[in-house]
Amino acid sequence: MILLPLLVHFFVIDLIFISRHAIGVHIGRFLARGKWRSLTSTASNFGFCYTTDVDIYWKHMNNVRITREMDFVLYGFLSTTGLMYDVQKNIAGDSVFWKVASNTRFRRPIQVFSTFDIKTKIVYWEKDSLYVEQQLITKDNFVRVVSVTKRGNAASPLGAHLFNTNEPNLAQLTNANYFIRIAFTILFGRVFQTKKKPTDQTAIYGFCTTQDVDIFVRHMNNARYVREMDFARFHFYDRTGLYESIVENKGNALQGACNIRYRRTIPIFTPYKVVTKLAGWDEKSIYLEQHFVTLSDGFIRAVALSKQNIVGVNVNQMLKDYPKPQQTLDLTQWLQSIETSSERLRKDK
């Protein structure tokens, strides 16, 4: 009897994810009562970093939860502006809200038991896409995270439409599945896989279950991509010995920024792999490139770049015995966009 609710929680469907989306959308519609928020306005939604949101160090909110919270807020914003209702009614289909790409900067971590505010606004649109900026701000008025996402689908004229139990258990108090998966991924690698050099690529395998799908129960939701990237990154750190080297030098690794491009969705019940490789490094950071590849056709469904801030360690010195990869154009341009974002936020501050 005890195992049944745990099986439902872990393997059947992510009920919390689905219900949070539904509540955000329907409450937004109820409160609006036909008086929609202006599309040029800024929405503000408050949140709280609980123990279910923390990373493996139990200190601050993990990247998956940040992406998840921003998704909830965005759907609420689209509902209160009436955009979701009108587009689905007049254009038909949910594909207009697919996330095509996302660029997120993690400027400072959000500590456990901290309150925060997520501000959401539309910054630009074109014929087939909508661009939304979201900022996660703590009570000290510091912008901890800033994210810009592109949503839309070429098949829909989106831009044209714009103006024409009661007892708490372990699974409830912590995100137990997250910690179990990390431990299993690292242990599996240590037992069945050989050690790698930092310049080698690693791979982990996954399967899109009903636990991973979006509110339409068709394909993997955006937060799950970030979650799988976390698992693949921890696996890469362990197999290459990078994390061991960082710890030996009394350092630490923190996610500084992430850029994801969603080329095609990963349908439900589809096996895939996440390939991770070192794309470059400088004195203070290392840069990882990760690919989501479906096994049936070998197609790269999503590609991600991430900046890992290595605190307290000279990365050039740590990796001096390895050849540095040639920096690609997309990585160079992405790093330039980070600098541009920093300059703008410093001016706003």
pLDDT at 85: 63
Share of residues in the chain with pLDDT > 90 (%): 52
Residue-wise pLDDT for 70-104, tens only, equals: 888 888 887 777 776 666 565 544 444 677 888 99
pLDDT: is 38 or 157 the higher one? Answer: 38
pLDDT at 335: 95
pLDDT at 2: 46
Q: Taking the CA of residue 323 as centre, how many other CA atoms within 13 Å lie in the half-sphere pointing to its CB?
A: 3
- Evaluate if residue 276 carries a pLDDT over 90: yes
Domains annotated for the chain, with CATH where assigned, are 16-163 (3.10.129.10), 176-348 (3.10.129.10)
- Evaluate if residue 349 carries a pLDDT over 60: no
pLDDT category at 57 given cuts 50, 70, 90 is confident
Q: In the predicted model, what is the mean pLDDT of residues 173-188?
A: 82
pLDDT category at 59 given cuts 50, 70, 90 is confident
Reported pTM: 0.74
Residue-wise pLDDT for 255-267, tens only, equals: 999 999 999 999 9
Q: In the predicted model, what is the mean pLDDT of residues 55-83?
A: 83
pLDDT at 30: 64
3-state secondary structure labels for all residues of the chain: CCHHHHHHHHHHCCHHHHHHHHHHHHHHHHHHCCCCCCCCCCEEEEEECCHHHECCCCCEECHHHHHHHHHHHHHHHHHHCCHHHHHHHHCCCCHHHCEEEEEEEECCCCECCCEEEEEEEEEEEECCEEEEEEEEEECCCCEEEEEEEEEECCCCCHHHHHHCCCCCCHHHHCCHHHHHHHHHHHHHHHHHCCCCCCCCCEEEEEECCCCCECCCCCEECHHHHHHHHHHHHHHHHHHHCHHHHHHHCCCEEEEEEEEEEECCCCECCCEEEEEEEEEEECCCEEEEEEEEEECCCCCEEEEEEEEEEEECCCHHHHCCCCCCCCCCHHHHHHHHHHHHHHHHHHHHC
How far is Cα 36 from Cα 29, in angstroms, rounded to an integer?
A: 8
